[in-house]
């Protein structure tokens, strides 16, 4: 049976790290969240969750 990793500290840290990196690049490139999620095949809510590390 697969182990639920949703509460794993390492996974939470990695998600937060990836979200921070995405936000850092977006801000450096002077892009809004809307510009990024419209260019990607995502809607607003999933993109915001990714950037928030969730």
**Average pLDDT of 30-45?**
91
Distance CA 36, CA 29 (A): 11
Our CA dihedral for 17, 20, 26, 29, rounded to 10 degrees, sits at -90
Encoded tokens for 44: 């607003």
* 5/45: higher pLDDT: 45
pTM, two decimal places: 0.76
Q: What angle do CA 36, 40, 45 make, to 5 degrees?
A: 70
Average pLDDT over residues 27-32: 96
5-18: pLDDT as tens digits: 667 899 999 999 99
Domain ranges within the chain, ordered by starting residue: 9-51
* Mean pLDDT in residue range 23-40: 94
The yes-or-no verdict on residue 1 having pLDDT over 60 is no
**At CB < 8 A and 24+ separation, what contacts does 24-31 make?**
26/51
């Amino acid at each position: 049976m697969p182990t639920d990793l949703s509460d794993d500290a390492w996974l939470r840290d990695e998600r937060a790290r990836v979200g921070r990196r995405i936000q850092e690049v977006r801000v450096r490139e002077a892009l809004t969240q809307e510009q990024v999620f419209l260019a990607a095949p995502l809607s607003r809510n999933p993109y915001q969750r990714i950037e928030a590390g969730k």
